[in-house]
Amino acid sequence: MKKIIKVLLLVLIIVTSYLLISPVILGVSPLDSMLAQEILLDMIRGQSTGFLKLTVKATLDGKTFDGELCFIAIHNFTGSEHKWNLSDRIVYDRYASPISTYVLKVVRIPERVTQGKVRYRFQEFYIHIATRQHVGATYLVVEPDVPIKTLEIEVPLNVKRETSGEPIKTHSCPMDQYEISTNLAHAWIKCGECHSIQGIRAEWRVERDTILYFTQYSRDITYDWYDWGGACYACTGTTDTGWYESGKVPVESSTDDVVTQDGAGAKNVLALVYYKCERWYESNFIGVDGEHTDYEYFIMTPIDMNNIEPGDAITCNQCGGTAPPYAVPESSTDVTKEFEMGNEGYWELTEVSFSFAFPSGRQISFGFGVSAVRKAIEGPYIRLVVTSWGNPQHKYWYWYDSNDRHSHILHLSWIPPP
């Protein structure tokens, strides 16, 4: 690791020195030159930093939105301190342009070397956009693999506000509140399948550094208030988007665990996933002449996976039959087969029912479907152990479901391809 850091520092000095030469001569923007200077100063202080130049574009029906935005909010979810606690809202831009650019400073932490390339710890951000009629959000996972990285992110405004609830009265003016739920909710969510054949024990495994993706949800509520003379307010109307999917969040396993299929058969693999919920309430968000609108949004985020267990037995019409042409032969008695970074395909939804309580006394419930995503940073893997050979060749064949290493499903057979 020390050698990696020394090499990185040398490369950074060269790149930064290059950027510090006259931007006009090199065609480097004045902004990039200024950012490079800050990176160099941080490097001298012993800090490895970088910048993300993030252009956020709101879209509606596939086209750039050209109306007025209520706000763009960007939350930092990087690291356990932001996953387990209240996230850090680093951008809150009211009445932003439909296309807005933000410069975010990040810490670049080298974690490993893959195929000769240094890999950096991923940065995670939640981007939320609201208009008077629509909302949208997305979850961004980005590797700061260069000191200054430019990205363009489209956030579809695909959820419409609907009038909800009856007008209410209250004797106190609501205040700004930013809080995290006092409880975590959890659910068993399907994340894979473990298949095997007679004579082989298959072990579907996760380790402490395994990272799988699960769905995140958000919800937006507005409150229209009228001041009728004093500290009493009447709520004349509300809107509510209901819960909507707002991203795919990487969740790190906090334990080593295994689901085993010994001999012929197959079963689902279920992950125990914990969710937190954040509440962000902005009072007096929009207001004129004694009237104002408050804005409240909730972010329900998966933060931990600390167990896997076998689910229901399932039927497989591929294992044990004639292997397909793309199947791979294997003659070792004890091997591991890894799943690759995924293609973002979903498993079927798992219906759950959650209830979250907040220190302010606010409560909110969630009743919908959550899902694992066939995508992984450090994925699960299959261990295959031969307990008795099923053919004279002492060889079996394996293949990934649909010939896709992202599938989290591995099939086996003693019968070779035709």
**Span 137-154, average pLDDT:** 94
**Span 290-308, average pLDDT:** 90
At 165-203, the pLDDT tens digits run 665 656 566 789 999 999 999 999 998 999 999 999 999
- Ranking 105-119, 181-195, 282-296 by mean pLDDT, the lowest is 282-296
- Domain ranges within the chain, ordered by starting residue: 162-418
- pLDDT reported for residue 172: 64
- CA 387, chain centre distance (Å): 39
- pLDDT reported for residue 155: 96
Strands 345-346 and 396-400: unpaired
**Span 60-75, average pLDDT:** 92
Residue 4: phi and psi, rounded to 5, are -60, -45
Give the whole-number percent of the chain exceeding pLDDT 90. 58
Contact 211, 198 (CB under 8 A): no
pLDDT at 257 exceeding the cut of 60: yes
pLDDT top residue among 246 and 341:
246
- Ranking 21-25, 67-71, 111-115, 279-283 by mean pLDDT, the lowest is 21-25
- CA 63, chain centre distance (Å): 25
Contact 86, 65 (CB under 8 A): no
pLDDT top residue among 19 and 288:
288
Contact 268, 175 (CB under 8 A): no
- pLDDT reported for residue 23: 44
As given in the structure block, the two tokens for residue 291 are: 């009237």
Of 240, 152, 187, 190, nearest in space to 374 by CA? 190
Give the whole-number percent of the chain exceeding pLDDT 70. 86
- pLDDT reported for residue 193: 94
- pLDDT reported for residue 2: 52
At 118-144, the pLDDT tens digits run 888 899 999 999 998 899 999 999 999
- pLDDT reported for residue 16: 47
pLDDT at 7 exceeding the cut of 80: no
Mean pLDDT of the chain: 86
Helix (H, G, I), strand (E, B) or coil at 83: helix
pLDDT at 297 exceeding the cut of 90: yes
Question: Cα(164)–Cα(378) distance, rounded to whole angstroms?
Answer: 42
pLDDT at 20 exceeding the cut of 50: no
pLDDT at 342 exceeding the cut of 70: no
Question: Cα(130)–Cα(20) distance, rounded to whole angstroms?
Answer: 39
pLDDT at 12 exceeding the cut of 80: no
- pLDDT reported for residue 22: 42
**Span 214-237, average pLDDT:** 79
At 348-401, the pLDDT tens digits run 778 889 999 999 999 999 998 888 876 667 789 999 999 999 999 999 999 999
DSSP 415: B
pLDDT top residue among 251 and 8:
251
Question: Cα(148)–Cα(139) distance, rounded to whole angstroms?
Answer: 20
- pLDDT reported for residue 64: 92
Helix (H, G, I), strand (E, B) or coil at 2: helix
- pLDDT reported for residue 68: 86
Strands 233-240 and 244-252: unpaired
pLDDT at 11 exceeding the cut of 70: no
